[in-house]
């Protein structure tokens, strides 16, 4: 189960079960174990609840992969360039 699916399952349960929601806020690890969701011991887990006056933004983990813009910088702006055999067969010379 990926992180998105896991979050969706937890939020769905919290929305339909007020007792689970309170348990999740009080002791997330224990609440998740009740759903048979194992949490590694070395994983820190935080649960916060938004309010009408407080919005939380969760930033994703920084990736070591290049972004689309960075890839364009590296390739000189060339996108979707066909293999050499297609270019040799009269395909477009430039692809952007």
The closest of 40, 70, 50 to 32, measured between CA atoms, is 40
- The radius of gyration of the chain's CA atoms, rounded to the nearest angstrom, is 23
Identify the pLDDT of residue 2. Answer: 77
Neighbours of 32 (CB within 10 A): 21
Query: What's the pLDDT band for 4 if we cut at 50, 70, 90?
Result: confident
23 pLDDT band, cuts 50/70/90, is: very high
pTM: 0.58
CA–CA separation, 96 and 50 (whole Å): 43
**Is residue 96 pLDDT above 60, yes or no?**
no
Domain parsing of the chain, residue ranges: 1-54, 63-96
pLDDT tens-digit map of 40-95: 888 888 999 999 999 999 888 787 777 777 777 776 666 665 555 555 555 555 54
Nearest to 76 by CA among 48, 96, 47: 96
Distances (CA, A) of 37 to 5, 12, 13, 91: 12, 14, 12, 53
* Residues sharing a CB contact under 8 Å with residue 80, sequence separation 6 or more, in sequence order: 95
Q: pLDDT at position 11, please?
A: 94
Give the model's pLDDT for residue 84: 59
């Amino acid at each position: 189960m990926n992180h998105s699916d896991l979050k969706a399952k937890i939020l769905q349960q919290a929305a339909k079960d007020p007792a689970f929601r309170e348990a999740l806020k009080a002791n997330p690890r224990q609440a998740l174990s009740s759903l048979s969701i194992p949490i590694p011991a070395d994983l820190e887990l935080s649960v916060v609840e938004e309010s009408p006056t407080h919005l939380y933004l969760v930033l994703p983990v920084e990736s070591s992969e290049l972004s689309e813009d960075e890839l364009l910088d590296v390739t000189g702006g060339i996108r979707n360039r066909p293999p050499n055999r297609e270019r040799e067969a009269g395909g477009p010379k430039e692809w952007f």
